[in-house]
Amino acid sequence: MKRRSKLLSVLLATAMVVGLVGCGNSNDTIEVSAPAEEPAVEAEAGDDSAAAAPAAAELDTSERVDLVFYVMGDAPQDETVVEDAINKILLDKFNATIDMQFSTWTDFQQKYSLELTSQNADLIYIANWLNYGQLAASGAFEELDGLLDTVAPDLKAEIGDDALNMVKVGGKIYAIPNTWSEYTSNGIKYREDLRAKYDLPVPNSIENMEAYFLGIKENEPDQGILTVTTEESQGLQTAFDAAWVLNVKYPWVCTNGLPYGLAANYDSPEDIYDYWFSDDFVEDMKTMKRWADYGFWSKSALSDTNNSDSYKTGLCVAEVAGQNPNKQITAIQELEEGGQGWQSAYYAYGEATGVIFPGHATQNGTAIVRGCKNPERALAVLQALMLDEELNSLIQYGIEGTHYEVNDGIYSNLSDTFAYEGFNTWNLRNGKTKLPQATDVELQAMFDKYAEIGAKTKFPNVNIYEGFAEDYNDYQAERQAVSNVMRQYLAPIQAGLVDDVDAAVEEFRTKVTEAGLDVCRENFKTQWIAYCDEYGFK
């Protein structure tokens, strides 16, 4: 009963905050692109995936099993057509079928929580932005360590120990990550045509961003610069998304950040220091005020809502929060389709700080729901969906010749009834067989550049942040109080909409301390250092 009660409490917390923790938006004010739905190029599997796997135990398939597979987003029009093709193969191989069920993007966090409590699903999409770590620790998913050895040793070998280690919670494996590595490095997406037209600097530092924005404002006074909004502060890193520009200065402000105004450099993650009470914080907030005074965003920004079309419609010239390489590829396509000669460029913040790494293994994965009546068959089917090229192509792209075609190794869509990755099964991506689209050539060039930077870090191309799951059940009240103070006092400071920065910062520091900041910080530090010790991030 204790485990069940803890799961229910975590699910309630998930329903409140899961839509706020992704960085697109995590992985935005959550958008459909939070799980990086745009396709890209394949990545080679690590050396450990080539190890010979032990033979699987014989699977009892005497009774038919109908499995429910719960995924995110909306169902494609040809859902049944593709499912029938998949199930024809699964029935022959495993005497099993799958029924794809979809969250839709309306109230998806509540629906996800309900799916886990009702235990209607057998297989379910997981991600760090869906609170995977806490849910696993609370008993939402089946432990897979033993099952991988007996049922799916080929899958275990293909994924490799490194990736499986990253999905462990409390030393146990609760999910299967996909085998395609991608870089979701945050950065600034900006109008390159305007930069070139007015001979402005590339916005690759705070100073150059300011010069770029000012240059456009001086040459085109009526042109909007940034569309920015207040962030729901449950993420406890920033409260106004313009502050994401500070990632070009520090590699830990938002997307890689520690909460509660704490900071730690990538190469020394256990050396935690205080940012909110530092002189750097005050100076950075004065930069935010200067930008607000320059008119880089609306004076009503604290009450504005996010407009996802602002960039492609020309209402702003840059986006500084929740961006990633996939969104840049989308922007290139949208501006080309607009036919106005606009061009989009992208600068990843990690290019300036030297800290870039691929997405964490928990970015896209699959778990077996606790209480699944046929976990062995579910895992065997999952292995086939990921490793069998025919099945993987069906579930990812639909029926060849009907929904898509392949020319010179490049995917092309043939139908509106089933798009690329039409089932939203980013968790089933196979890096060895993933079909690239034409736009993936440019995306690959970006990934290659980031991989080269990431290889030079202390933890080469390892995402040390997103595998950590904070357990704040014992200090939920203080955490919520800190969140409320951030929304009320930090957001206007980060938006530059205060008269006296020094006075406003002092008031914020007083209020957030009274709210219970020290309790949150001490508990977080203990957990974070234990996590770093466990994984060798020292």
Rg (CA), the chain: 23
Q: In the CATH hierarchy, which top-level class contains the domain 2-36+62-182+360-436?
A: alpha beta
> Which amino acid does the sequence have at 239?
A
Q: Which two tokens stand for residue 196?
A: 């070139």
Q: How far apart are CA 395 and CA 386, in angstroms?
A: 9
Residue 18 pLDDT grade (very low, low, confident, very high; cuts 50, 70, 90): very low
* Domain residue spans of the chain: 2-36+62-182+360-436, 186-355+468-538
pLDDT at 25: 34
Return the CATH number of the domain spanning residue range 186-355+468-538: 3.40.190.10
Residue type, 192: E
Indicate if 186-355+468-538 has the same CATH topology as 2-36+62-182+360-436.
yes
Q: Helix 79-94 crosses helix 375-387 at what angle (to 10 degrees)?
A: 110
Among residues 377, 426, 387, 375, which one has the least CA distance to residue 154? Answer: 387
The type of residue at 447 is F
pLDDT one-digit tens code per residue, 420-432: 999 999 999 999 9
Distances (CA, A) of 289 to 189, 392, 495: 22, 51, 7
> Tokens 């930077």 appear where?
453
Q: Rounded to whole angstroms, how far apart are CA atoms 324 and 192?
A: 16
Side-chain half-sphere of 184: how many Cα atoms within 13 Å? 27
Q: Count CA within 13 A, CB hemisphere, residue 164.
A: 19
Q: Give residue-wise pLDDT tens across range 277-306.
A: 999 999 999 999 999 999 999 999 999 887
Q: Hey, what are 86's tokens?
A: 């998949």
Chain position carrying tokens 């007083």: 510
**What pTM does this model have?**
0.78
Q: Which region holds residue 536: left if phi is over 0, alpha if psi is between -120 and 50, else beta?
A: left
Task: Give 41 or 503, the one with higher predicted confidence.
Answer: 503
Averaged pLDDT score across all residues of the chain: 89
β-sheet bridge partners, residue 412: 405
Question: Does the pLDDT of residue 439 top 70, yes or no?
Answer: yes
Q: Is 345 helix (H, G, I), strand (E, B) or coil?
A: strand
